[in-house]
Structure 1
Amino acid sequence: MPYTGKVTVSGPADVHELADLMISKAAVGPMDNNAYLLRCRATGEQLLIDAANDAATLLHLIGSDGVTGVLTTHRHGDHWQALEEVVAATGARTYAGRADAEGIPVPTDVLLDDGDTVTVGACRLTARHLAGHTPGSVALVYDDPHGHPHLFTGDCLFPGGVGNTFGDAGAFASLLHDVETKIFGPLPDETWVYPGHGADTTLGAERPHLEEWRARGW
């Protein structure tokens, strides 16, 4: 069946099959977080984005091949509840944005700065630091050599707007600026967006609303 990105807690993962990379999306409770397992087709190496909760569900998704890395998009607790258990079971390296690592209770092996490369076997992803939802939030861009880019945004970009900045005007301005200059600026409309909660979207679907978001302030 074609990939839709529509998943439910306790339901099956949805798999987006690209030429070089397989992306499995699963939802975990209790806050309906999305977790993404990336698998390099050439090597079988796997990377998990956000061990949010339900370690048993995530370890089942990972399977017997294991996972070499777990990347936490930001320091909010709903995105790392299963991190300690998944790392203990798999021996995976941990990745997080430099400014958020101190807020994640599992030690971070690799501190990410803007523009850093994260590899999954033969596949390369680029970290983008998007400050505002948290100081050290990171998104990951996979620029598919056989198609359009794929973007994992954590809680920095959703269908309908940027992430919550909790009424802080400065944080909102920072997040909108970073999303505009590092995401909407360089990436095409066809870019597929995988957020930290809920349904997927594309940059083309969201781009016409940037001024609306700026005017409303959230």
Structure 2
Amino acid sequence: MLIDDDLRLTKTSVGPMDNNAYLLTVGDDALLIDAAAEADVLLNQVQGLNLVGVVTTHRHHDHIGALAEVIAATGAHAYAGRPDAAAITEATGVACREVWDGDEIELGPVRLQVIGLVGHTPGSITLALSPADGPVRLFTGDSLFPGGVGKTWRPGDFVTLLADVEAKLFEPYGDDTIVHPGHGADTTLGAERPHLDEWRARGW
């Protein structure tokens, strides 16, 4: 999918939990979001490209299954949300560059904004891509899906996650903003915004 000039996006479903792995390319440079599984598939996609980084949206096992193999094969930098980075390193052996609110990840001339969202895990992150033309794109991992926020295990975590999603995604970004979640189909903030009160009332 061509987003802006030569900025391209490829979405691939990998692994038994149908995780979405997103590959952004600008010229010969590439950035992978969630090396979740099936390293051979992901490495085939970046063959001939300069993989500058692999961003892990959060520490859950289904999002890190191919991380070590992809990093070892490419020498790319690994990025993760600061509160999740140590757990990802412990699980994979991969040292991660820690990022959080206000940080940027570079892909050639493109800058992706890092947004920390606490609740699904302590260190989940979303990446915001703002092309020169066209809508903003949010790569939300498991923090926001069509129909609700990501799964939480304690009532306090749900409250925190919904508050972060409202304040950091729904308030600053418009209805045409495209949401690319960690599993399943894309959506827009406009499609989900009318349901925020419903999510709050049901508690998940």
Q: Of 16, 23, 38, which aligns to 2:9? A: 23
Q: Any conservation in 1 of the 2:4–2:132 contact (CA below 8 Å)?
A: no
Aligned mates of 1:19, 1:203 — CA distance in 2 = 24
Runs of 4+ in 1 over 6 A off after TM superposition: none
Offset, 1:159: 0.3
Matches within 5 A, 1:57-96: 57-96=41-80
Pairs aligned (count): 201
Deviations 1:26-61 (A, max 9, x none): 0001110000001114xx211000000000010111
SS in 2 for 1:67: strand
Shift of 1:16: 4.6
Unmatched 5+ residue regions in structure 1?
1-14
Identity, in percent, stands at 56
Structure 1 position 137 matched with structure 2 position 121:
no
Shift in Å at residue 20 of structure 1?
4.6
Tell me the TM-score normalised to structure 1 length: 0.89
1:124 is matched with 111
What SS does the corresponding residue of 1:148 show, helix, strand or coil? coil
Residue 162 (structure 1) aligned with residue 146 (structure 2): no
Kept in 2: contact 1:16–1:24 (CA 8 A)? no
Instruction: Indicate the residue corresponding to 1:111 in structure 2.
Output: 98
Q: How does 1:7-22 map to 2 (within 5 A)?
A: 15-22=1-8
Alignment RMSD (CA, Å): 1.1
The answer to which of 60-69 and 125-134 deviates more is: 60-69
- Name the structure 2 match of 1:185: 171
Answer whether contact 2:68 2:94 (CA < 8 A) is retained: no
The answer for the alignment partner of 1:206 in structure 2 is: 192
Query: TM-score, with normalisation over the residues of structure 2?
Result: 0.95
Are the aligned partners of 2:3 and 2:131 in contact in 1 as well (CA < 8 Å)? no
Aligned AA (1:148): P
Counterpart of 2:51 in 1: which secondary structure? coil
Deviation of 1:147 after TM superposition, in Å, equals 1.8
Indicate if the aligned counterparts of 1:21 and 1:38 stay in contact, CA closer than 8 A.
Answer: yes
**Structure 2 CA distance, aligned partners of 1:180 and 1:124?**
23
- Do the aligned residues in 1 keep the contact of 2:34 with 2:56 (CA within 8 Å)? yes
Residues 134-187 of structure 1: CA deviation (Å, up to 9, x unaligned): 000000001112121011000000000000002x11000000000000000000
Residues 120 and 84 of structure 1: is their aligned pair in 2 closer, same or farther, counting only changes over 3 Å?
same
| Partner-residue secondary structure (3-state), 1:209 | helix
- Contact 1:16–1:23 under 8 Å retained in 2: yes
